[in-house]
A and B are shown apart, each in its own frame.
Chain A
């Protein structure tokens, strides 16, 4: 190998390290943070959600005696507002804002043999609790792809079981299921940085967003994802409304 080649390789490595240090070192000014808000709607009539036959567990069918359980693939309000859509910043976040895990510790409850909430959005490394309110045994069994760095586990929660506290290491959409009650399906949506989940009116607000230009992504479990560009000014709100078509 020639000397000149060595020099070139060393120089490019140095340039590389400097660039990396610059990117990592960028600090976001916490003052004057804005937000991103909007509404998520479903275009057209909402698909019919099948009822769930819970006969195999009398506890579950009794809990739903007056209010039959339905699949929650699409949860759509009267005005077309769609719930359980996770909106997050997919591009534009830098430095600490992207890696900061939220201190809040959300709860994923097993109630009346359903998951509440059906979709739980989490930041990478954010702690969450899995609880049970039911008088029947569940097993909580998330199914991440182990190649992403998230590791699958499977824990039993009999009646009265203590909460299970966990977190996820990498961004991923992780299905979660109960093998005892095969209709129980939910999602952990793990993303980097600030995020929000739409409510039953389809409304969402992402708080603590530093001023800047962003790409936001909205994820719905069956309809897929959509992206939009949003600009947030200091202390102000950017708007991104999404309209999905049912698939």
Chain B
């Protein structure tokens, strides 16, 4: 073939490939990942760079989350809950509304906090820079960060003083939005719908048991608990209640949930004094 013709046909072929619609579904390839190696994260005044996290990821994370970040590492068959698939860009612990991306700070916090009742430990030995680099690395697995911005963090008003009235009001919220359907009237994760819960990928998943002393997955401060039911835990059956619980009621509910937890708290002591009874699932609406 004469050289000129060969070059022409090459460029025509290149044009034909470019004209094809971009195949966005299906598995990502090493090529897709290389093209997003410039991903960054911003946590406080630390800037994380994906390219700097390559070694740390291969050393600490790849065993579960896999070389392509799809949660299919060599430990996949042996761990439950299953490692997160970073390619989907769907995360449980967020400060942002359901259906939106978490902030860099959210991912950073998850790395440091770990996820209780899973194989994800707290990565205390990693420096802030290492963690920020790993956040950028986690982001480079999903095309969502190229196409979308993280959601705006929900606003959490200052925590009010816990009172008997607030605990009782929180119990009413617990009854009204029917938290007990999954979590049970005593918070023992034995509600009528608990046994059939599955995550977004169809795998069985347990509701949180408030009474066995484990930490809530996304942090154990009052603000962390507030955030859980106002953002939902995406990828799980736990929905967002943001449209149906007002900010003030949300604090009431936090106090009531504290009374169900086995850990000692001011709210728990007050509920004991009040002789507060569990909600009655058969009571008519608004008559607890």
Contact B147 A155 (CB under 8 A): no
Say yes or no: B14 contacts A147, CB within 8 Å. Answer: no
Q: Which residue of B lies closest to A151 (CB)?
A: B99
Given A4-B4, A147-B88, A159-B285, A179:B24 Cβ within 8 A = no
Q: Does B240 contact A (CB under 8 A)?
A: yes
Of residues B236, B239, B244, B282, which shows the largest number of chain A Cβ atoms within 10 Å of its Cβ? B239
Q: How far is the CA of A139 from the CA of B148 in the complex (A)?
A: 25
CB contact between A147 and one of B18, B87, B242 (< 8 Å): that residue: B87
| Chain A residues touching B, range | 35 or more
Report the nearest B residue to A166, measured CB to CB.
B99
Question: Contacts A146-B89, A154-B237, A158-B244: A5 and B7 contacting too (C-beta < 8 A)?
Answer: yes
B193 touches which of A12, A56, A58, A154 (Cβ 8 Å): A56
Given A149-B24, A155-B243, also A135-B285 (CB < 8 A): yes
Segment with Cβ contacts to A, from B177-185, B210-218, B262-270: B177-185
Contacts of A162 in B (CB 8 A): 243-244
Which parts of B82-136 form the interface with A (CB within 8 Å)? 87-90, 98-100
Instruction: State whether B244 touches A156 (Cβ < 8 A).
Output: yes
- Which A residues between 114 and 152 are near B, CB-CB below 8 angstroms? 135-137, 139-141, 143, 145-149, 151-152
Q: Could you tell me the distance between the alpha carbons of A162 and B245 in the complex, rounded to whole angstroms?
A: 12
Is A49's CB within 8 Å of the partner chain B?
Answer: no
* A135 CB → nearest B CB, Å: 6
A56 to chain B: which residues have CB within 8 Å?
192-193
Which of chain A's residues have a CB closer than 8 A to the CB of B143? 147
- Is B182 in contact with A179, judged by CB distance below 8 angstroms? yes
Q: Give A69-80 as 1s and 0s: 1 = Cβ < 8 Å from B's Cβ atoms.
A: 000000000000
Interface assignment of B238: CB less than 8 Å from any CB of chain A? yes
B1 at interface, CB cutoff 8 A: no
A50 to chain B, nearest CB (A): 16
Please name all residues of chain B whose beta carbon is closer than 8 Å to the beta carbon of A141 when the two chains form the complex.
Answer: 237, 239
Q: Is the interface of B mostly helix, strand, loop or mixed?
A: loop
Interface with A: B46-54, B194-202, B252-260, which one? B194-202
Specify which chain B residues have a CB less than 8 angstroms from the CB of A148 in the assembled complex.
Answer: 24-25
Q: Taking A8-B7, A143-B200, A161-B243 as contacts, is the C-beta distance between A152 and B25 under 8 angstroms? A: no
Q: Is the CB of B244 within 8 A of A179?
A: no
Contacts of B147 in A (CB 8 A): 149
User: When the two chains form their complex, are residues A156 and B240 in contact, meaning their CB atoms are under 8 A apart?
Assistant: yes
Known: A9-B14, A146-B90, A147-B24. A139 touches B244 (CB 8 A): no
A11 to B234, CA, bound (A): 48
- The interface stretch among A13-21, A194-202, A205-213 is A13-21
* B contact residues around A157 at 8 Å (CB): 244
Within the assembled complex, what's the spacing in Å between the Cα atoms of A2 and B10? Answer: 13
B42 interfacial contact with A, CB 8 Å: no
B8 touching A8 by the CB < 8 A rule?
A: yes
For window 148-202 of A, CB contacts with B under 8 Å fall at: 148-149, 151-159, 161-162, 164, 179-182
Q: Is A57 at the interface (CB under 8 A from chain B)?
A: yes
Contact mask for chain B residues 129-151; partner A; CB cutoff 8 A; 1 contact, 0 none:
00000000000001110011000
A16-37 interface code vs B (CB 8 A; 1 in, 0 out): 1001100000000000000000
Q: How far is the CA of A156 from the CA of B182 in the complex (A)?
A: 13
Query: Which residue of chain A has the shortest Cβ distance to B238 in the bound complex?
Result: A154
Task: Contact check, A152 vs B240: say whether CB atoms are below 8 A apart.
Answer: no
Provide the bound-state CA to CA distance between A8 and B99, in Å. Answer: 45
Cross-interface CB contact of A136 among B7, B142, B148, B178, cutoff 8 Å? B178
15 sample A-B contacts, Cβ–Cβ < 8 Å, listed by A number: A12-B14, A12-B15, A16-B18, A16-B19, A56-B193, A143-B200, A146-B88, A147-B25, A152-B99, A154-B232, A155-B242, A179-B239, A180-B181, A181-B193, A182-B193
Which 7 A-B pairs rank lowest in CB-CB distance, beginning with the nearest? A153-B99, A179-B237, A137-B178, A139-B239, A12-B15, A156-B239, A182-B196
A8-B7, A152-B234, A156-B177 provided; 20 other pairs, C-beta below 8 A? A4-B7, A5-B7, A12-B11, A12-B12, A16-B15, A57-B181, A141-B239, A146-B89, A149-B147, A153-B98, A153-B99, A154-B99, A154-B232, A154-B238, A154-B240, A155-B98, A156-B244, A179-B196, A180-B193, A182-B198
